[in-house]
Amino acid sequence: MRRITDAQIQKEIDARMAKDAIREKKHQEKCDRRDAFILITAFIVCVLVVGLLGG
């Protein structure tokens, strides 16, 4: 029977935490890009509306 040491368990935990952190970072970057796109689109629409109303 194979024995598992505390160091091996800690190594596996660290690897999983690193994978989770990378996945969370990618998700956050995706959300940031989406939010930036929404803000830019809203700004353009506002400029167009103000231009049409003011012109």
Each residue's pLDDT tens digit in the chain (55 positions)? 678 899 999 999 999 999 999 999 999 999 999 999 999 999 999 999 999 998 6
**Burial 11-48, CB ≥16 within 10 A → b, else e:** eeeeeeeeeeeeeeeeeeeeeeeeeeeeeeeeeeeeee
> SS3 for 5?
coil
What's the count of helices (H) and strands (E) in the chain, helices before strands? 1, 0
pTM to 2 decimals?
0.65
